[in-house]
Amino acid sequence: MTDAPQGPLQDITVVDLSRALAGPHAAMMLGDMGARVIKVESPGTGDDTRGWGPPFVGPEDDPVSTYFLSANRNKESIALDLKSDDGRDVLTRLVRRADVLVENFRPGVLDRLGFPVEHLHELNPRLVVLAISGFGHDGPQGGRAGYDQIAQGEAGLMSVTGPDADTPQRVGVPIGDLLAGMYGAYGVVAALHERDRTGRGRVVRTSLLAAIVGAHAFQGTAYTVAGHVGRAQGNHHPSLTPYGLFHCADGDIQVACGSEPLWVKLADAFGLDPAAPGMATNRQRTENRDAVVAALNETFATWRLDDLLPRLAELGIPSGEVRTIDRVYDWDQTRSQGLVLDVDHSVLGPIEIPGPPIRFDDNAFAGGRENHLAPPTLGEHDASIRAWLDEEENA
């Protein structure tokens, strides 16, 4: 067993049967908060994402996928063939000792492996099961396979993302998977709290479809309440103006005027009439967005980014530049928030990986634990996990 973790979930053991991204992300979030996460992988190949790349790093005969590294920190790995007697036996022993089981098989797969929910709760009535699917576990398309890009399209996200209504665009990260993982982890923590009262675990279900619909925000109510179907509008907000991407002399800048006083400040400072026809209220400006954007682009065209950003900050106007990924991770503000971790990988040695996005008030490190684990190699903890099971059973 690895060194005992710290954090609010330090007494929780998670069995992670999931692969790819939604389930692994949920399990990683629980691990960040101190839970012991045991990742069960197929022998030989492991999690699908171990083969996703480039980029790969490390030795040519043992390459490591950076995609896999993104979703599997703070976990141990055991390789089990769940179709074998040994694999099913070890999983049974793990379930008996676990608090949480995470799976994102297509609906029915876990049943066919011999572990339907009813059997899981016979083995361990206190077990919380997180089941993540593509489009839900029931309904007319409940058995449908789920892939993030397909879900982004089916769940409406691509229709409101992109330069215009005729050019749907996927989000630059697998946001459906990530949101499903986040909602799943949130549901698990709620179920664990309920278990303290009832003594029994329950099944928590979410899906890529549910997660994306759950993040529709104002686009959802615009349709359900007002009958308005939102469409992609590029880098400008559909309900607030000016709120979006603008151009200056040497680059791009984002400006967000979320209130009338901010608009007045912005306009007065840069020689525009805040009460001009078509600009006096947010509704007018939004209805005349093209003219407002053109006026600000013309105004900013003579300003350099290094001069414009401080001026907007001085005025109290929310603004920012558009950073590339490298400049985000090299930014001192990013690092000050614990968003870059130093870990020791068993193949790669010391590496930096993105860190958890939560900090607690009684420590300066990110997540609920001080010592974060590098993502494991396939089967790295086979022996230690089996030894732990033996010790527990012989105690």
Known catalytic residues? 177
Burial 312-334, CB ≥16 within 10 A → b, else e: beeeebebeeeeeeeeeeeeeeb
- Distance CA(289)–CA(294), nearest Å, equals 8
Helical (H) or strand (E) element with 16: strand 13-16
Helical (H) or strand (E) element with 97: helix 85-97
Cβ 242 vs Cβ 257: under 8 Å: yes
Q: Which residues, including other chains, have CB under 8 Å from residue 35's CB and lie 6 or more apart?
A: 5, 7, 9, 10, 12, 13, 14, 99, 100
Nearest residue to 316 via CA among 354, 360, 259: 259
- Distance CA(356)–CA(369), nearest Å, equals 10
- Distance CA(374)–CA(68), nearest Å, equals 11
My answer on whether omega of the bond before 54 falls inside 30° of 0, hence cis, is yes
Coil, strand or helix: which one is 389?
Answer: helix
Cβ 27 vs Cβ 107: under 8 Å: no
